[in-house]
């Protein structure tokens, strides 16, 4: 098999995995792997296909601008609309693979913390490549938009080499790594971390609300 065929098979397998988790509902989400760097060439999943049903042929090679290049087996296939951001992330971070999914926890977390989601003192941070204790991790949040150049500029402005992820508000999350498996492991750990952070915040808010209601009832009783 050619390098592109191997990449297409890997992208299809990982897409099916994420679709099974409910993180790539319908045709949402996209994945990519870097094929070369001089010039930058990225294999990205095609647009408009159910991510649980991709085949090794459902892949397009794009350049640094996210547009399909002519010298490939599938020049007429349409890459994901977000291919430009995949290419930008790969170029800036040096990653070998980028995963973009629509898991709910990151989007909800960005609603609560639009200036960045802080994580600390959680064992699962080690799976995300950071220390479990005494290490503040802030996952950046950028505003959503349809212009990948604008999104790419926002990503690059907040990029930190030790935080391989960015949340796009009211959209989804991008996570990257040395290869697809590495990126997947990071995403799985980060999704857990963000879900924990959201759910504990909601629990705390509910507890505070109950305390407030009890205090009001007690005050009325005294009066």
Q: Among the residues of the chain, which ranges form H helices? A: 3-20, 83-93, 104-112, 148-157, 180-222
CB atoms within 10 A of CB 2: 8
Q: What residues have CB less than 8 Å from 194, skipping those under 6 apart?
A: 105, 106, 108, 109, 117, 119, 139
8 A C-beta contact, residue 34 and residue 40: yes
| pLDDT value at 209 more than 60 | no
Classify the C-alpha dihedral 113-116-121-126 as positive or negative: positive
pLDDT confidence of 125, banded at 50, 70, 90?
very high
Is the predicted pLDDT of residue 204 greater than 80, yes or no?
no
Residues above pLDDT 70, as percent of the chain: 91
Lowest-confidence pick of 6-15, 133-142, 189-198, 203-212: 203-212
| Radius of gyration for the alpha carbons in the chain, expressed in angstroms and rounded | 20
Confidence band of 211 (pLDDT split at 50, 70, 90): low
Is pLDDT of 140 > 70? yes
pTM score: 0.90
pLDDT value at position 77?
87
Judged against a pLDDT cut of 50, whether residue 198 lies above it is answered with: yes
Chain segment 147-191, per-residue pLDDT in tens: 999 999 999 999 999 999 999 999 999 999 999 999 999 999 999
Q: What is the pLDDT of residues 72-123, one digit of tens each?
A: 887 888 898 899 999 999 999 999 999 999 999 999 999 999 999 999 999 9
Per-residue pLDDT band for 223 (boundaries 50, 70, 90) equals very low
- Which SS3 state, helix, strand or coil, does residue 145 take? coil
């Amino acid at each position: 098999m050619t390098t592109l065929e191997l990449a297409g098979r890997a992208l299809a397998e990982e897409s099916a995995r994420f679709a099974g988790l409910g993180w790539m509902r319908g045709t949402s989400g996209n994945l990519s792997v870097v094929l070369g760097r001089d010039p930058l060439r990225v294999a990205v999943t095609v647009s408009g296909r159910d991510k649980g049903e991709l085949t090794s042929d459902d892949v397009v090679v794009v350049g640094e601008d996210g547009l399909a290049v002519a010298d490939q087996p599938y020049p007429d296939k349409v890459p994901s609309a977000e291919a430009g951001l995949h290419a930008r992330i790969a170029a800036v971070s040096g990653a070998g693979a980028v995963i973009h999914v629509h898991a709910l926890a990151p989007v909800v977390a960005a609603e609560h913390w639009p200036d960045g989601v802080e994580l600390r003192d959680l064992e699962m941070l080690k799976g995300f490549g950071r220390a479990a204790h005494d290490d503040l991790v802030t996952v950046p949040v950028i505003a959503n938009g349809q212009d990948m150049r604008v999104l790419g500029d926002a990503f690059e402005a907040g990029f930190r080499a030790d935080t391989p992820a960015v949340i796009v508000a009211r959209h989804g999350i991008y996570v990257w790594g040395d290869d697809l498996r590495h990126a997947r492991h990071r995403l799985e750990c980060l999704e857990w971390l963000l879900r924990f952070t959201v759910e504990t915040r909601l629990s705390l808010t509910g507890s505070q609300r109950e305390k407030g209601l009890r205090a009001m009832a007690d005050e009325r009783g005294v009066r």
